[in-house]
Structure 1
Amino acid sequence: MPSFMRVAISGEETSGVPFADLHEASDALIKALLIRAKYMKASHQSFPTITKRFLRRVCDEEHDYLAEDDSIVHQKKESILDHPIDAPSGHGAPFECTMEPPANYHLQVRNGVFQEEEEGEDENDGSLFAPPFTLAEFIADQNLLFALVADGPIKSFCYRRLNYLTSKHDLHVLLNEIREAATQKQVSHRDFYNVRKVDTHVHASSCMSQKHLLRFIKKKMKNEMGVAVCKLADGTSMTLQQARFDCLNLTAFDLSVDMLDVHCDRNTFHRFDKFNAKYNPVGESRLREIFIKTDNYMEGRYFAEILKEVMSDLEESKYQNAEYRLSIYGRSRDEWDKLAAWAVKYNMYSDNVRWLVQVPRLFDVYKVNGQVENFEELITNIFEPLFEVTNDPSSHPDLHRFLQYVTGIDSVDDESKPERVMFDKDAALPNEWTKHDNPSYAYYLYYMFANLVVLNNFRKARGFSTFVLRPHCGEAGPVHHLVTGFMVGQNISHGLLLRKAPVLQYLYYLSQIGIAMSPLSNNSLFLNYQRNPLIEFLGRGLLVSLSTDDPLQFHFTKEPLIEEYSIAAQVWKLSSVEMCELARNSVIMSGFPHEIKKFWLGPNYTKEGVAGNDMSRTNVPDIRVAFRHETFLEELSTLFHTLKDLDCMDAAFN
């Protein structure tokens, strides 16, 4: 245990509130934690072992979702020679894999959720992998959390605890900053630049800089003018030269970054429509289709080429990694096959990259255009290929290969759009949702989550990788989006509105839910940089990381993630310890496999406290890790010991 100066609060009452208020708040917060633990266990997503251990102590009945996770085995390897820092490369034939025999399950959709029955089984027996909760139970849990978040005394209690965490962190830095810096200097070779860091929230279609995209377009305009790049409405093909001269009247020399016009400025603030238009180079949607789409006339060749250049830059930097998001829209059932064929055909693999799939919440647009009949058709288009490939990998061989490197599913769109219909017990079922109104945020996430629960249980039984749900959440719009994110998401992106919801912010802290924050993106769209709560969240101990979101729109340099860190360091005067802590957080909350994280963070990184920190890899001092761990234990003890004390008092009076 490292030696450093600690701040302790003494006395009989250390919470700062009356005992009755403390008990009421503790009881409500523990119920909320139990709700999250239940849904995380059902979907094979993670829940912190420390919080789970405290929950087991106060629960009268046994809950299987509080059982210890014995899937991770720690290894006694004490030196870098025992366990090297660099993971073995996966290059060679990354998409080669075994095609397991079919499982012979029958698939069908019931009330918007997929069910599997073995061949010949009675349909009334139910699915082997059905969610362990009903729609009514989910809505009841959601309503309980709504009431908790709006409760005045609980809000006051959580606000006080969050301020206490801030003050305690400030005192820790005041007393131990010099000692932490000295500890870092004792570690040979390691510094901020060569610790592993992951861009946990970045969209593949905008992962390049504007200068990179300009250079790529110019190169193609010079060297491939005669290549057919798109098809017109009458069926005739158009070459790049025709698209350049006939439609845009441009030469390669004419193009500039300013003419490309893909960078956000003050005119996009609170204008998500203008932000979406920035994806169109030179304001032309045709160029977007040609250069940054996977499904086009060229089968996504240009997009694959520029993405491979970006991935090559990551490999050259060695210590920077990314989780790129590719889109599945749900308009047709062959979208997954086309995306997987694109990935396999162009060998879209890098040791530094993993993929997430984002699903835009655009049912109303598809309905107006006649592309889907009801919401259940959208859900079927998204999930049916995943169930089919799990049931029989040979039915979608490319998809089976591609899913090895897909770690999760994201839900994206403008959260500030008004929601006309709330998600409650009276909401229409997916097969009955035929109106043109877009379903609410919670409606989308519930049906994505319910299907993900069934899919993950099925894939786990088959020995395949599972997926996590990591939605965009809390960037704008109503606070109740964060309630849904708390229930179903392993991590979230943005989380800005937590600054307005002290109860939820405290629950996100107690649950250690990962929050991928993008201050430069927020600065152009929803919140000025100086008001961004990232530095406040980090000080309080929330699991936050820095991410770029859309380098094409928000960044200028070849290394957008380093640019994000450097601006944050300048604006908030971040120390090397805080920057390395953010980098370590990004690896922990990322979707990279456990085996790879053991190389990056240390073979025992999942252990609690200092035992899980390998400073020779993370450059985070044991002093800082010990402070975070002890503070977290203190907060949990404050909550849970209250209930034990009350039980003792009741026993004494009875």
Structure 2
Amino acid sequence: MPSDLDFGLKMVNGVIHVYTKRDITDATTELDLPYPDLQEFVADMNVLMALIINGPIKSFCYRRLQYLSSRFQMHVLLNELKELAAQKKVPHRDFYNIRKVDTHIHAASCMNQKHLLRFIKRAMKKNNEEIVFEEGGKEQTLHQVFQNMNLKAYDLSVDTLDVHADRNTFHRFDKFNAKYNPVGESVLREIFIKTDNKVSGKYFAHIIKEVMSDLEESKYQNAELRLSIYGRSRNEWDSLAHWAVSHKVHSNNVRWLVQVPRLFDVFRSKKQINNFQEILENIFLPLFEVTVNPASHPELYLFLEHVDGFDSVDDESKPEHHIFNMESPLPGNWREDDNPPYSYYLYYMFANMTVLNHLRRQRGFHTFVLRPHCGEAGPIHHLVSGFMLSQNISHGLLLRKAPVLQYLYYLAQIGIAMSPLSNNSLFLSYHRNPLPDFLSRGLMVSLSTDDPLQFHFTKEPLMEEYSIATQVWKLSSCDMCELARNSVLMSGFPHKVKSYWLGPNYVREGPEGNDIRRTNVPDIRVGYRYETLCEELALITQALQSEELETIPEEMLCMGAGLESNTKGDVCSMGEEKN
């Protein structure tokens, strides 16, 4: 492996390439760090788009999904009492003391509204004369900020704060975003829930540490908090890492994901960037630099030890004015005022992450995964991109309208972090949420909170989410424990931690990978899921060698074979365990 000083970095057509010096001259050679070919990606995406509207394929997948639902109902009728008896035999363990992970939660709203209210009141009493804001070159203390709003600590209440989503936010993402501003004032959002402000993110760090303390007190609840990197400047990573390290925002119950808002059009309209490639450079070059030479960004090196991967966020219902194809401008040439399409963002994020992961693996560092918001609203090609590029997605509501994609997500066991209470306030009423259908069919789903500040009332929002889901959908104890086990499997917590939470053999498939003494999920349930998935994969594979299923086009059969060798390594093949 070359020394740190022997590496060179250069972004070519939106993807960073890594070079090493060959000799004492300046001649360099490019490292063999492959990434998905753009032409192949676009071609595969077009094939998938054609498949999901193909009539015979839609009928086939719909019937298989209905069969999976019916088969699960039969399983419950025959084995529910056996599953309950198996759980009762396990000493000490129950739903409350199994590990569960909130796989989709934003750090800026990880506290509930009462928590934020108490913190603001406490800050007003203790730090009233601290300079917290600057506008037009004039500094303001906390007292002056609230004085300008004609507010005192006594006046504040949960209703005054007005951060909770209500009926007026339904299908109004703009109104929902406004709920991040306490009392409707963006200045309070900047002071209390931003990492880079006049007080260096001190208040935000204190709030998050209090949330972490609550998680540690509950012991069995964990979270993967999301922080934002926008790509407006190269020093964003160092600023974020400095905030996390200097304020010691760390807990064994928390991992971090970095979300990248799709706001190119906003930055372009404000003339903060010239083209899309600048955003990619600002996001990824610091990560390559710290991977090549950790001493170049020491605080970022420490922070990345606790980062699992990346998320892509924004309002998916926004209209897209472009279609991603081979005629789309390359990132260096994308200077239009319109936002690139969703799949454009995801492809270039994934391509750079792939190169970065190859390099980090060679350097002995952990790698990152892509876990975007996907399928909450908007066109179906979002879910196609998510299927092709993501390890897990958040929301996935529109899978209920796309039987082909839903079946593919099932076969590939791509994780779906679902947030029914969030969806109920934004896009889909609770009783129409497809989570119980997805669970019964065997999709890899978990429960998450999304934004406790806007949607939850209690100190334990994740338990609130489980409680409501259980009451509304009449979930059994086994169902709840299965969702909790899924959340740990989907999460980015280290292998050593998962081994302790789920059992030393958790990476094995079927009952061999389950330890009921730690998961409280009966082997009967795990065995059923494993056998059913293997049978579905066998059905697709056998169709390759049969002329009986002529209604299934060749592309679908080839896709089934591809799923057999799933790159995530978590899907069985013809009933045999994969290495």
TM above 0.5, yes or no, is yes
In the alignment, what sits opposite 1:319?
220
Structure 1: unaligned runs, 5 residues or longer = 1-99, 650-654
Residue from 188, 196, 200 that aligns with 1:287: 188
Please show how residues 304-315 of structure 1 align to structure 2 within 5 Å: 304-315=205-216
Where in structure 2 are the equivalents of 1:4-153 lying within 5 Å? 102=4, 104-120=6-22, 127-153=30-56
Structure-2 residue corresponding to 1:386 = 287
**Match for residue 144 of structure 2?**
242
Residue identity in the other structure for 1:462: R
Question: Do the aligned partners of 2:35 and 2:351 also contact (CA within 8 Å) in 1?
Answer: no
| Correspondent of 1:347 among 223, 235, 248 | 248
1:409 is matched with which residue? 310
Query: What's the offset of the Cα at 1:346?
Result: 0.8
Query: Contact 2:196–2:240 at 8 Å: present in 1 too?
Result: yes
* SS of aligned partner of 2:8: strand
> Conserved in 1, the CA contact under 8 Å of 2:33 and 2:359?
no
Runs of 4 or more off by more than 4 Å in structure 1? 120-126
Deviation of residue 103 (structure 1)? Answer: 5.2
Deviations, residues 522-543 of structure 1 (Å, cap 9, x unaligned)? 0000000000000000000000
Letter in 1 for 2:91: S
Counterpart in 2 of 1:210? Answer: 113
- C-alpha change, 1:129 and 1:416, in structure 2 (3 Å) is farther
Inter-partner Cα distance in structure 1 for 2:405 and 2:28: 39
Amino acid of the structure 2 residue aligned with 1:187? V
Cα offset, 1:138, TM superposition: 1.0
Question: Aligned equivalents of 2:3 and 2:501: distance in 1?
Answer: 35
How far 1:120 moved relative to its partner?
A: 4.8
Whether the 8 Å CA contact 1:196–1:600 is kept in 2: the answer is yes
Aligned counterpart, 1:181: 84
Aligned to 1:165: 68
Judge which range, 310-319 or 103-112, deviates more.
103-112
Bigger relative contact order (CA 8 A; separation at least 6): 1
Please give the alpha-carbon distance, in whole angstroms, between the structure 1 residues aligned to 2:540 and 2:26: 46
Q: Aligned equivalents of 2:390 and 2:28: distance in 1?
A: 30
What is the rounded CA distance, in whole Å, between the counterparts of 1:162 and 1:208 in structure 2? 38
CA distance in 2, matches of 1:459, 1:326: 22
Q: 1:72 is matched with which residue?
A: none
1:591 aligns with 2:492: yes
Does the 8 Å CA contact 2:192/2:204 hold for their aligned counterparts?
yes
Q: Cα distance 1:152–1:126, how it changes in 2: closer, same or farther (>3 A)?
A: farther
Question: Given that residues 224 and 255 in structure 2 are in contact (C-alpha distance below 8 angstroms), is that contact kept between their aligned partners in structure 1?
Answer: yes
Match of 1:333, SS state, is coil
The one of 125, 131, 136 aligned to 1:228: 131
* Structure 2 unaligned regions, length at least 5: 551-579
- Residue 194, structure 1, aligned to residue 97, structure 2: yes
Residues 1:642 and 2:543 are matched in the alignment: yes
Cα gap change, 1:101 to 1:282, in 2 (>3 Å): farther
CA distance in structure 1 between the aligned counterparts of 2:382 and 2:298, rounded to whole angstroms: 36
Aligned-residue sequence identity (percent) comes to: 67
Q: What displacement does 1:596 show?
A: 0.5
Distance 1:123 1:482 in 2: 45
Q: Is the 1:129–1:457 contact (alpha carbons within 8 Å) kept by the matching residues of 2?
A: no
Q: 8 Å contact 1:117–1:123 — kept in the other structure?
A: no
Report the CA distance shift for 1:136/1:223 in structure 2 as closer, same or farther (over 3 A): same
Shift of 1:130: 3.6
User: Structure 2 residue aligned with 1:434, among 332, 335, 359?
Assistant: 335
Question: Does residue 231 of structure 2 align to residue 330 of structure 1?
Answer: yes
User: What is the deviation of 1:147?
Assistant: 1.1
Structure 2 match to 1:261: 162
- Residue in structure 2 matched with residue 633 of structure 1 by the alignment: 534
- What is the Cα deviation at residue 236 of structure 1? 2.4
One-letter amino acid of the structure 2 residue matched with residue 195 of structure 1: I
Q: 1:535 aligns with which of 424, 428, 436?
A: 436
Partner residue in 2 for 1:471: 372
* Distance in 1 of aligned mates of 2:53 and 2:493: 36
Asked if the contact 1:545/1:583 (under 8 Å) is kept, the reply is yes
Alignment-mate amino acid for residue 318 of structure 1:
K
The aligned residue for residue 381 of structure 2 is 480
Relative to the length of structure 1, the TM-score reads 0.82
What is the CA–CA distance in structure 1 between the aligned matches of 2:497 and 2:5, rounded to whole Å? Answer: 30
Distance 1:133 1:622 in 2: 38
Q: What's the Cα RMSD here?
A: 1.5
- The aligned counterpart of 1:575 is 476
Q: Which of 284, 292, 300 pairs up with 1:399? A: 300
Moved more, 638-647 or 187-196: 638-647
Count of aligned pairs between the two proteins: 547
Does the aligned pair in 1 maintain the 2:374–2:396 contact within 8 Å? Answer: yes
Aligned with 1:642: secondary structure? Answer: helix
Which secondary structure state, in structure 1, belongs to the residue aligned with residue 459 of structure 2?
coil
1:456 aligns with 2:357: yes
Determine helix, strand or coil for the equivalent of 2:4.
coil
Aligned residue identity for 1:641: Q
For residues 438 and 32 of structure 2, the distance between their equivalents in structure 1, rounded to whole angstroms, comes to 37
- Cα-to-partner distance string for 1:174-231 (whole Å, 9 max, x where unaligned): 1111111111111111010000000000000000000000000000011110001111
What is the TM-score with the length of structure 2 in the denominator? 0.93
CA shift at 1:391, angstroms?
1.0
Amino acid at match of 1:198: V
